[in-house]
Amino acid sequence: MIVIGVDPGKITGIAFWCSPDAAARPWLQGGPWLLTEVPAYKAVKTIRMVMRSCVPTRIACERFVQGSGRRAMTHQPEAPELTGELRELARAYDCHFSLQLPGPAKKMAPNSVLKKIGAYLPTPDGHANDGARQVIRALALDHKPYFVELLGI
């Protein structure tokens, strides 16, 4: 099983997680995680490169609220554009696509948890870590055995 977590935005955080029993892991060396941050215009190309060698089970994308004022979570036009592109990419590769709120994912997987499981990338804004949180949240919601094994609970 392969899950891709995405924090869409001007700088997009992407986390790739591959279960221990996955057949093809050519892009991983030394662990089940690959985390990166790329500009929005490179995000789909980056994900597609991985999907060519191994199709994921799920793409878990952070949901955003676009608008104005204090209640808006983002003002970035890249976020909805990228979300639409990812939804279409998931359709093309016949994998599950989900939108998830950032709050529950952050509560479930603070930086201390990410560091413990080897899914922490120190960056100025932590977008890659937010992508990893979306992977963890997706596993908790739909793939509990992997979630339990990953967190050691």
CB atoms within 10 A of CB 33: 20
CATH code assigned at 69: 3.30.420.10
The C-alpha atoms of residue 131 and residue 102 are separated, in whole angstroms, by 10
- Whether the CB-CB separation of 76 and 9 falls below 8 Å is answered with yes
pLDDT in tens, 115-126: 999 999 999 899
Q: What is the mean pLDDT of residues 123-142?
A: 95
The pLDDT of residue 27 is above 70? no
Distance, first Cα to last Cα, the chain: 20
pLDDT above 90: percentage of residues in the chain: 64
Helix (H, G, I), strand (E, B) or coil at 104: helix
The C-alpha atoms of residue 25 and residue 18 are separated, in whole angstroms, by 7
Q: Report how many domains make up the chain.
A: 1
CB atoms within 10 A of CB 68: 7
pLDDT in tens, 75-94: 678 899 999 999 999 999 99
Range of the domain at 81: 2-151
Residues 6+ apart with CB under 8 A from 116: none
CB atoms within 10 A of CB 146: 22
